[in-house]
Amino acid sequence: MVFAVASNNPGKLREIQRILDASGHIAKSQRELGYDFEVEETGTTFEENARLKAAALCERSGLPTIADDSGLCVDALDGAPGVYSARYCGRHGDDEANNDKLLAALGDLPREKRSARFVSAVCLWLPDGRSLTAMGECPGWVGFERRGTNGFGYDPIFYVGEKSYAELTDEEKDGLSHRGKALALLEQAMEAFMDPQGEFSGAGTQVTLREKK
């Protein structure tokens, strides 16, 4: 199956394409398909923003489209930066400034008060207007310093156990990450959802999958 991927974030694209490729799919970025635009993320949840992005590219490309909206939710900050993760510092996509601001906000809080979780909503939007959204989470904590180079965004300061996301191999990260979990859920339900005569038929159908706790 060929999917359009609604993202201009190189790191996110690499992860999504790598995971979809491993499942036998072909993932084409919006720029590969000749579309260079940004969708205004006006949603108040990851799910809403993922749907906005997926719908916009699907409408233009006519292809089944996958979009991710994700972010870091820190307990000591009442869930911030959350849906505003990419623009936490006031500018969109400035990873270094976002990390600096988060580390400063947590200051010298001890490890047991630095709990956090990465959250991902991955939406599959079909040309007939149906959508399937899968939610994935990875619990961890915010470290005191950056470590590792194999990552992007908050990866160098988000730790799972004693390793930051940016210290994990691609295989390790895909197996436990929020985005990896969401895409795995999506893959499990995809065949049934794609059937136009199946249980999820009907224009405008929207389905959300969540991990079983």
pLDDT computed for residue 66 by the predictor:
97
Question: CATH number of the domain that 10 lies in?
Answer: 3.90.950.10
pLDDT computed for residue 210 by the predictor:
87
> How far, in Å, CA of 77 to CA of 97, rounded?
17
Helix (H) or strand (E) holding 69: strand 65-74
From first to last of the 213 residues of the chain, give the pLDDT tens digit: 899 999 988 889 999 999 999 889 999 999 999 998 989 999 999 999 999 999 999 999 999 999 999 999 999 999 999 999 999 999 998 999 999 999 999 999 999 999 999 999 999 999 999 999 999 999 999 999 999 999 999 999 999 999 999 999 999 999 999 999 999 999 998 888 887 776 676 666 788 888 876
CA atoms within 13 A on the CB side of 23: 21
Identify the bridge partners of residue 121 per DSSP, sorted by sequence position: 69, 135
- Domain span holding position 185: 2-210
| Catalytic positions, written as ranges | 69
> How far, in Å, CA of 180 to CA of 174, rounded?
5
> How far, in Å, CA of 166 to CA of 168, rounded?
6
- Residue type present at position 54: A
SS3 104: helix
SS3 60: helix
pTM: 0.92
Number of domains in the chain: 1
CB burial of 187-209 (b: ≥16 within 10 Å; e: otherwise) equals: beebeebeeeeeebeeeeeeeeb
pLDDT computed for residue 191 by the predictor:
83
Burial of 82 (0-12, 13-18, 19+ CB in 10 A): middle
User: CB count, 10 Å around CB of 169?
Assistant: 9
* Residue range 18-58, pLDDT digits in tens: 999 988 999 999 999 999 898 999 999 999 999 999 999 99
Q: Which long-range contacts (CB under 8 A, 24 or more apart) does 109-113 make?
A: 109/76, 111/141, 113/75, 113/76
